[in-house]
Amino acid sequence: MTSIWFNPESAQLKSYSSTSRGRKAVVKIEIEVTDLSYLGFLLQDLARAEYEQASPSSPYRPQPKSADEREKRRRLRNQAALALPAPGGDPS
């Protein structure tokens, strides 16, 4: 579940409204922000919430355009990982 919190010292609830059609309703919330830094944090939170709720066909998870590109991605996923030495281990 996504939540949005705002500091009353930096942001105030200005207004809200709702409309409904059938089984779905849309709630619109207007928040007045006085601190531009806080505005950035609030917009980041909203973008994160949008990303978390995105469906698989959303622009955040693009699908390969051609069969060749899908095959190339499949081969890359199935490749074995590189065997690198342990940190601090003997390089010889």
Give the Cα separation of 52 and 37 in Å (integer): 23
- Residue range(s) defining the domain that contains residue 27: 11-78
Write out pLDDT tens, residues 34-69.
999 999 999 998 888 888 887 555 555 556 678 888
57 CB-near residues (< 8 Å, 6+ apart): 63
Residue 89 lies in a domain: no
Q: Is residue 86 part of a domain?
A: no
Q: How confident is the model at residue 20 (pLDDT cuts 50, 70, 90)?
A: very high
Based on the structure, what is the number of domains in the chain?
1
Mean pLDDT value across the chain: 82
Q: Give the pLDDT confidence score for residue 64 in this predicted structure.
A: 61
Residue 6 lies in a domain: no
The answer to the question of residue 33 being in a domain is: yes
Q: Is 72 within a domain? A: yes
The confidence score (pLDDT) of residue 55 equals 59
